[in-house]
Amino acid sequence: MVVLSCGIDFRLELVEALADDEQIIKQHFAKIPDPYIRDVEQQVFLHGAESPRFTQAITKFEKILTDLDKALATQQWIVGDRLTLADIAYAPYATRLGHLHLHSLRDNKPHFARWYQVLQATPGYQAGLTQWFNPK
């Protein structure tokens, strides 16, 4: 989800903040200690949604949603018939799809859509996520 967020949401802010100053850009990425993460973020910074890393992230997320939809075809929640930590763990990722305007990844996944709608109505979702949303 970080790659998707960086490619869609944070990239424009970063481009504006770094203002085409190569020295500042180098300093920014030099602060990222993990070479793999640094490489991924640089690729997404340079190429946005056209980055191969971005495409890979979309493909992986699509597979996760497809697998979840299949599992949810036979049960109300991810692990069975009651809300568990698995559902709570996936809630922010499902929510982030909407924030990034990636609703289309949920298309043709009716069981996932039902699960997410029911999840959003729970008091825990309301307290843990909804009340913290930025209205912008």
d(CA 33, CA 133): 30
Give the residue ranges of DSSP H helices in the chain.
2-5, 11-18, 22-30, 35-47, 52-72, 85-99, 110-120, 123-128
Q: Tokens 């191969």 — which residue?
A: 52
The pTM is what? Answer: 0.76
What are the tens digits of pLDDT across the range 13-59? 777 776 667 777 788 889 989 998 888 888 888 888 888 888 888 88
Domains of the chain and any CATH numbers:
2-52 (no CATH), 57-132 (1.20.1050.10)
Express the helix, strand and coil content of the chain in percent, nearest 5 each: 75, 0, 25
| Average pLDDT across the chain, whole number | 85
Mean pLDDT, residues 116-131 taken together = 88
pLDDT band with cut points at 50, 70 and 90 for residue 98: confident
User: Which are the contacts of 58, defined by CB distance < 8 A and separation ≥ 6?
Assistant: 4, 105
Whether the pLDDT of residue 88 is over 90: the answer is yes
What percentage of the chain reaches a pLDDT higher than 70?
87
